[in-house]
Structure formats: C-alpha cells, structure tokens
Structure 1
Amino acid sequence: MTKQSRLIFRNKIFFRLWMAQSGSSLGDWFNHVALAATTLSLTQSPTAMGLVLLCRDLPQVTLSFLAGPLLDRFSKRLMMYISDLVRALVAIVFIWAALEQQMWAFYTGSVLMGIASSVFGPARNATIPGVVAEKDITEANSWTVATSGVLSVVGAAFGGLVSTVVQPAIAFAVNAFSYIWSAAWILITKWKEVTREQDKEESSSYFAELREGFTLLKENRIIMALICTSVAFAIMSGPYFVMIPVLGDLIYNLGGIGIGLLYVADGLAFILSASLVGRVVGNNVTSAHRWYGWGFVIQAAFFVAFAFSTNVWAGMIFIFLSQLGAGILLTLGMTILQMTVSPEVRGRIFAIDHTVDTGVKQLSLLISGPAISLLGSPIVGMIVGVIGGFAGISWWYVSNRERKNVSQTSEPYQI
C-alpha cells in the first residue's frame, strides 16, 4: 500500500470529501461534452456554444470573490451541500431541455450552474487544511491532482461516447446523479469548522470583511506572490487549450485522433506529477518552495518544444513533460496557499484566488485563438515560455527573500 493510498484509508473525512469531488468531477466532464454537443446540434453555431460557456464561466469570475466573506462566516460544509443540490437541479433541467430542444434553458441553466460552482471550489479548498494533518496537505493535494488526471481522460472519453452513441440527455442524467452523489457524501460527513466569530458589540460588516481579505493579500508577500504566479499560470493555459486542437488536427493532420492522443498524454502527466510531488517534496517546506518554481520552468520549456513539434509522437512527449510541470504547480501552489493562510480568512483568500484564476483563463482563451492565427504556434509558444520562466524566477526571488527575512525575526513562518 503506497503512502498516498494510506491517507485515503486513515482519514475518513478526507476520503469522503475525495469521493464527493471525484463523483462530481466525473459528471462535470459529461456535462462539458454534452453541453457543447447539444448546443452545436440545436444552433449549428460555434458562437452560440461560446455564449453558453460564457454564461457558465462568467459568474465564477464575477461572484467568487464576493462569496469569500460568506465562506468564512458560515459553514463551508453547508455551502458545498447547497451548491451540489442547485447544480443537480440544473442538470435535471438540462435533461428536459435536451429532449425538448429548449435552447433558452441552457443559457439560464448555465448561469445558475456557474453561480453554484463559484462557491463549491473555494469552499472545498479552504476546508482541506482543517481536515488533514499539516504533514499530509501535500499528499492530499497530490491525490486531488492525480484524480483530476484520471477523470479528464475517462470522463471526456465516456462523456463523448454517451453523447454521440446514445444521446446528450443521458450524459446530463449522469451529471445530475454525480452532484447528488457528492451531496450525499457531504451530508454524511461532519468535521469541526473554523468560522469567523461575530462579536455582538464589534461585529464587522460584510464589506469590511471583504476589504480585510484584500488587505491580507497586499500585506503577505508570499500570498501575493502565489496569486501573481497564478495569473501567469492562467495566462499560459489559454494557448495550451487552443494549441492542442490546432496541432492535433491541422499540423499533425490526424483530426480527432491527434487531439485525443494529446489529451491522453496530458492526463497521464497529471497522474505522474502527483506521485512525483508526494515522493520528492513530501512535507518539506524548502522543497515545496523550490519545486514550485521548477514547475514553471519545466512547463514553460517543454511547452515551447511542443509548439514547434511537427508530429504527434513528439507532441505527446513534449505536452506530457510540460503538463508534468503544470501538475507540480497545481499541487504545490494549493499546498503552500493552504498552509500559509490562517483558518479565519481562508474562504476569502481562496475565493479571490478562484476569481483571478478563472477570469484570467477566460481572457487568455479569448486572446489565444487570434494570437495563434496571427503569429503562429511557435511564436505564441515562445511567449508562453518567457512568461513561465519569468514567473518561476520571480517566485524563487520572493520566496527566498521572505524566508530569509523571517529567519532574522522571532515571528514564526508558516510553510
């Protein structure tokens, strides 16, 4: 039994949260594929498909940070449970919409889905440090990233198969069940939560608590550096998502097979990166900071090589190595943030992080297509390489400087 599997079996709360997220994440892939297929079938318009995706993602950009004070003031468990129930109801409406060909329901339902999702992600990320021991946080995040890699391969494949061979309504039914599955696991799981204590005489307002989150962000250089490097990571994600279909179809001339092979390499990289981080970094503070910087360098360098690749086998190797770096970043970035932020403000900080990440990714996706059309994949790849390399070097500088400053004072340093 590996070290990672031992965490699942020795921590019942984490196991149940992992079961909840795994089920809902698998259903999400069915939703992604079925939503795209149904929209294109009903409208024959890529613009309409983009609008549906915008309806789903825009609330996460605009509302996540506003939910931060609520996550710190109220039960995160309750917020996740309500979020799952809302998303399950929307997925059930999608079944009806697919059968009755009601396009308006997909637009409005996607907005509601986005609103509910804007709460679930930050709430879960803020919960993990409270349910696992500090020495196990890296391992817990490694499990999450590895599971994400597996589900990205399995969910996309089976979601596409069900939507194409059977019908999208069945895929939406699977999605609805996945949220009910998640809600059920959360309902039977209880843990001690840290919420912001409200002094009757000096109770702070919602907006004061919102400002407090941004104030902490400005005052803590490690948190600020993590958010800034998250911006760099989000910028790099846009060219990645656009370049995979461009290279797989137009450069390698393999159509859907080429695109699928590249996504398989992507999923395998995330699985391996989680195991690598767990073994190499563990709960070592210095290693976590050092390898977070290396994650950017690895991702950037091999993405440049991927952008210049001319055959699918080279492309698979380079995208695998690039996403190996991305997996390191996702695991360690979340770990460092979870262990740096105090429990009373985790909801606000993770909500801000989620908003920044989602918003910049959407902007990057919007720009990447025209940029690749105008400049070509190699040039855009080199730009991504420069951004990633700069982010890694900047992180090393800030991290080393902050740890040296703390070592010269009597103040404790969290991770």
Structure 2
Amino acid sequence: MATSPRKHDIEVEDRAGYLELLRTNDNYRRLWFGSSLSLLGDWFNLIALYTLVSTLTGSPLAIGVIFLAKMLPWALAAPVAGLIVDRYNRRRLMIGADLVRSVIVLGFLFVQEAAHVPLIYVLIAAQVVVGSVYVPAKSASIPNITAPRELLTANALSSATWSTMLAVGAALGGFVVEFAGIEAVFILDALTYLWSAWFVYRTVIPQNTEPDTDPLVRTAARKIMDGWSHLRAHPRVARIATAKATWALAGGGLVYMLTLIGEQVSPGAIAAGIGVLFMARGIGTGIGPIIARGLFTDQAKWPMVLGSAIAVSGGAYFVVGLVPWAPEGIALFTVIALVVMAHASSGGNWVLATVLLQKRTEDAYRGRVFATEWLLVMIAESISIGAASVLLEIGWLDLAGAVQLFAGAQVAFGLIWLLVVVPKELQSDAEVQEAGQADRADKIATPHEDA
C-alpha cells in the first residue's frame, strides 16, 4: 500500500541547506563521500572505454554496443535487484557490490586488440548487473538516513555530485588517457570502489525489510509482478515512475551521439574531445537540480516542470544538430553551451522525479519501485541507442541529421507529457486537497477521545 497522499505533499516545505546536511548528518555524509569518488572513477572508466573501442574498431555500432552493454543487462537485472534490495540488508549489498566491481574493472586490462572487444562488452555487462543492486539500494536508503526537511536537499546534492563527478571525471579521464594511458584509468577505477566500500561500511542505514523466508528464486517472479501491480494500483506513483524514461526515449540516442560529436570536435585527441562534451553534460546535470530546487518550491508544479524539462532538453539538442562542429572557435563553445543547457533540463527532471517517487512510495516497496523505474529507463535508452547506432552504421542518416531527428522526437515526448500527464496530476492534487479538507472537517465535528 502506498503512502496516502497528504496535503503537505504539495505544499512549500522547509529545506535543509547543503552544508547543514553534510555537517550534521553523519550517515548521509559518509554515503556521499564514498559514492563521490567511486563515480569519479566510473567516468574515468567510461571515457577510456569509448576511446579504446573507437581506436580499435572505428565503428559507430561498436561504440553503440558499449551503451547497450550498459543498458540491457541492467534492464534485465533491475526487477530482481529491486526484490533483493527490499529483502536484504542494503548496506551489506552496497559493500559487496563495490568489492565485486573493483575486481571486474581490472579485467579491462586484458583488452589489447580488436579481437578482444567482445570481452569489453562481457565485463561491462557484469559490472552493471552488480551495479543494478547498488543504485536502487542507495536510492532507497536515502529517505531512511535523512529527515523529511533534508530529503530534497539530499537528492539534489546526490544528483549534483553525480554531475560534478561526470564533469570532472570526463575532463580528467580524457587527460589521463592521453598522457598516462588507458590502463592507469582502469586501476584507478578499481581503487575508487574500495574507497566507496569503506565509507558505506562506516554508515548506519535503518531499514524496514520484509519478513520473507521463502527461497529467493521461488518468490522472485511473484515479487516482481507484485511491484508492477503496485504501480498499476497507484497511478500517482506510476505516473512519476515514467518521467525519466520519457526523456530517455530520445535522450539515450542523443547522449550516445555525443561521443561521436566528440570525435569530430577533437579528431587528433579523441579522448579529449569526448571528455570535453561529457564534461559539459556533467556541468548541466549538476546545475539543473540546484536551479530546480531553488526555483520550483511548490510540488504541485513539479509535473509540469518535468514535461517542460524534457522538451527544453530536446530543443537544445536540436540546435546542436544545426551548429558546425568545428574543433575551435565560437562553434565549439556554442555546442558546449547547448549541451550544458540540455542536461541542466534533464537534471532538473531527474531530481524532481526522484523526490516525488520517494515521497509517494512506502519503504517496503521503495526498492522495487526504483528498480522498476530503472527498468523503464534502461529499456527506453536501449531502444533509443540501438536505433541511433544502426541508422548511423548503415548510413541512412548523417550524424547531424540523426541528432536533429532524435532531438525533435524528444521535444514531442515532452509536449505529450504536458498534454497527458499534467492534467491527471492536477486532478489528483485537487482530490488530495478535498480529502484533506474533509479530514479536517471530520476531526472538528468529532471530539477526540482524550478531550
């Protein structure tokens, strides 16, 4: 049963400050410290992998398969991961995931020639399957280690940190690849997972786990269907669970094509070019949640903000497809600014959707709901990336045309959200207010037992 909607869900709230949260909440600070450096290593790793596959194969499809190797295994593992997160100790799961991933990433050191590229895909798949447990475990734990007034700040800070590590990791990753070699990046990434495990080990995370003693395999299918049934039974939860996937239907292909644009803006140093554009993506997704937190204090307006953010992101990318991708001069800076704008919008969409989903879902179901949300996102991104990489590989569209096509589709998806979802949310909010008024009237009319 989902948490019953209450009037405070749509009111302006008192919020903790960022420094206040980190200074006073030891458990959140430890979790944040550990995940921050781990994220930095992940972005080092990803830039190195894009560069390695591009250098060994020169194929747009081969690079697209990197994205698919990250998306599809996650999509398949996410529902089971949600069940595991709801059933077992989330802190121990995160520690175990970090330790296993530290070993997996060292396997990239064995890739030396084009014939070894399939090993990259296998290792990426293994890494993300393990990560599919860590991410919902972390998302489901944040409400358990923060006070209500800290929740939005904690999510905004987590999202901004993800983005900052993307920006810094992409920029430094390109630099390290060019000057220290790809192998150094993989070793650094393994060390960051050990750092994360240490900080999670020192974190206390309360949890309301389910008292289910049946074997995991026997109950997995039933529990997964139960999670989907929970979304169907609670439209207020289900609607918000589709916000990120709506962006991803075209956004996945656009982010994939960002790597190909990076090769064109810096043909002599591929890692640096990709790193610069992914740094711009990180800056955008970093400032977007901060802007959203400051501007949109009334939760009743958030669904409209979610749809608008999707459309604005697509509009910015559409202009990217029109601008020449020169390796120097004003054109490059224009592309960087547009990428920042596109992902500031997507970052705002991400953090507001996350907070709404956390508030509308009770703890016992939260892991499955977030895992199901991730399943939707990964399926949407996989379809988008697969379509973009095939279109480019067979030559039906050039890169600029493909960017414009997918960006236009993203604008359309944002408008559909505004026309379909927002009216239902407004109706739901009206019902919440009426229910709150009726509840107060009943309390006034009925004397309290202790009166």
Q: TM-score, normalised by structure 1?
A: 0.87
Q: Distance in 2 between matches of 1:290 and 1:19?
A: 33
Q: Please, which of 269, 285, 288 is the counterpart of residue 270 of structure 1?
A: 285
Q: Please, which of 419, 434, 439 is the counterpart of residue 408 of structure 1?
A: 434
In the alignment, structure 1 residue 338 sits paired with structure 2 residue 338: no
- The 3 A distance-change label for structure 1 pair 262 and 97 is closer
- The 3 A distance-change label for structure 1 pair 371 and 405 is farther
Could you tell me which runs of 5 or more consecutive residues in structure 1 were left unpaired when the two chains were aligned. Answer: none
Residue 65 (structure 1) shift: 0.9
Q: Distance in 2 between matches of 1:108 and 1:301?
A: 35
In the alignment, structure 1 residue 234 sits paired with structure 2 residue 254: no
Structure 1 equivalent of residue 24 of structure 2: 10
Contact 2:287 2:344 in 1 (8 A): yes
Structure 1 equivalent of residue 373 of structure 2: 353
Mapping for residues 135-174 of structure 1, pairs under 5 Å: 135-174=149-188
Q: Please, which of 221, 228, 231 is the counterpart of residue 217 of structure 1?
A: 231
- Give the letter aligned to residue 178 of structure 1: T
Contact 2:251 2:384 in 1 (8 A): yes
Structure 2 equivalent of residue 396 of structure 1: 422
Residue-by-residue CA offset, 1:129-169 (whole Å, 9 max, x unaligned): 11111222211111122112221121112222222322222
- The 3 A distance-change label for structure 1 pair 160 and 246 is closer
Q: Distance in 2 between matches of 1:129 and 1:304?
A: 37
RMSD across aligned C-alpha pairs, in angstroms?
A: 3.1
Residue-by-residue CA offset, 1:222-264 (whole Å, 9 max, x unaligned): 2221233322111121342244356566699998577655444
Q: Please, which of 374, 387, 392 is the counterpart of residue 367 of structure 1?
A: 387
- The 3 A distance-change label for structure 1 pair 95 and 175 is same
Residue-by-residue CA offset, 1:339-361 (whole Å, 9 max, x unaligned): 11100001111111111111211
User: Any idea what SS the aligned residue of 1:408 has?
Assistant: helix
Q: Distance in 2 between matches of 1:196 and 1:242?
A: 39
Residue 16 (structure 1) shift: 0.9
Structure 2 equivalent of residue 73 of structure 1: 87
Contact 1:33 1:159 in 2 (8 A): yes
Q: Distance in 2 between matches of 1:148 and 1:271?
A: 7
Contact 2:78 2:371 in 1 (8 A): yes
Residue 307 (structure 1) shift: 3.2
- The 3 A distance-change label for structure 1 pair 102 and 309 is closer
Could you tell me which runs of 5 or more consecutive residues in structure 2 were left unpaired when the two chains were aligned. Answer: 1-15, 325-330, 440-451
User: Any idea what SS the aligned residue of 2:321 has?
Assistant: helix
Residue-by-residue CA offset, 1:352-374 (whole Å, 9 max, x unaligned): 11111112112101112455764
Q: Distance in 2 between matches of 1:374 and 1:385?
A: 22
Q: Which moved more, 1:389-398 or 1:70-79?
A: 389-398
Bigger Cα Rg: 2
Contact 1:149 1:268 in 2 (8 A): yes
Residue 72 (structure 1) shift: 0.9
Q: Which moved more, 1:52-61 or 1:66-75?
A: 52-61
Contact 1:77 1:186 in 2 (8 A): yes
- Give the letter aligned to residue 424 of structure 2: V
- The 3 A distance-change label for structure 1 pair 98 and 173 is farther
- Give the letter aligned to residue 155 of structure 1: G
- Give the letter aligned to residue 270 of structure 1: T
Q: TM-score, normalised by structure 2?
A: 0.80
Identity of aligned residues (%): 22
